[in-house]
A = this chain, B = another copy of it.
Amino acid sequence: MTKKKEQPIILVTNDDGITSPGIRYLIEAAKGLGKVVVVAPDKAQSGMGHAITIGNSLRMDKADIFPDVEAWQTSGTPVDCVKLAVDKILHRKPDLCISGINHGANHSINVIYSGTMSAAMEASIESIPSIGFSLLDYKYDADFSGAVFYANKIIKTILKNNLDKHLLLNVNIPSVPKKEIKGIKICKQAYAKYKEEFDERVDPHGRKYYWLTGEFINFDKGEDTDVWALQNNYVSVVPVQFDLTNYTLKKLLDRKKLFK
């Protein structure tokens, strides 16, 4: 008699908030692949990066809004959600953490600002294999069919292959109909950034205020980057790490002995 294999526990979170369509599509992509538990912010938390809540306390409440799926909403950031899920809901590490599906691109430098990817990174730090998913379409009623198809494929593959306890993938899906997507490409993070300009306005009381605006500029001409893959209708998969040491610069500083 063989022991019945327990189904994997899959933690789902996001940064657009628990009521956003993207998280429903991610649950759909994960269904049947394990026991899905949702712990997500109770409001939109885009652009929160790796923020954690230390100066305030947190709330967490049941949110029975998905059929047959245990779900909780918290007042915290995406990173707080992962921490709370492990300590207070699951009481163990899940087998996989998936974050998204984000409404909007998190390719290239966006990985730094993204709450979606920060939640996934937090899980990776905690030795939980983790994947962030983003669709290159900000709209509420965006077409997620390609995203769901490829998210399902990637989740299935990662659950089947025990690759690395710190595995962390940044997956972006192009905003085209499913049949136009050419497949999946393993990529590096493109060297790209935003050219910021603040929109300066004056309030009714005569005081200035500012809105952040920015134009995305890709400086990277490589064909091995996420930006290239997405422009060519591939799903981009960038493996990500949380060791931020710049070993090239470290070698240079070691050699130059500037601080002796």
Contact = CB atoms under 8 A, between A and B. Distances in A.
A140 interface: no
Interface of A: 44, 46-55, 57-60, 79-80, 83-84, 86-88, 109, 111-113, 118, 121, 125-126, 153-154, 157, 161, 163-164, 167-168, 183-184, 186-189, 191, 193, 196-198, 200-201, 207-212, 237-247, 249-250, 252-254, 256, 258-260
B50 A49 contact: yes
B112 A244 contact: yes
A131 to B, nearest CB: 12
A180 to B, nearest CB: 18
Contacts of A88: 198, 200, 210
Contacts of A254: 186
Nearest to A258: B157
A38 B18 CA distance: 38
Indicate how many identical chains form the complex.
2
A207 B197 CA distance: 44
Given A50-B50, A52-B49, A83-B196, A58 B259 contact: no
Contact of A244 (B79, B111, B237): B111
A73 B211 CA distance: 16
B237 A161 contact: no
Given A153-B259, A157-B258, A193-B126, A57 B211 contact: yes
B86 A249 contact: no
Contacts of A207: 59
10 contacts: A47-B54, A83-B196, A87-B197, A87-B198, A157-B258, A184-B259, A186-B253, A189-B244, A237-B259, A239-B253
Nearest to A225: B245
A111 B242 CA distance: 9
B245 A189 contact: yes
A5 B211 CA distance: 36
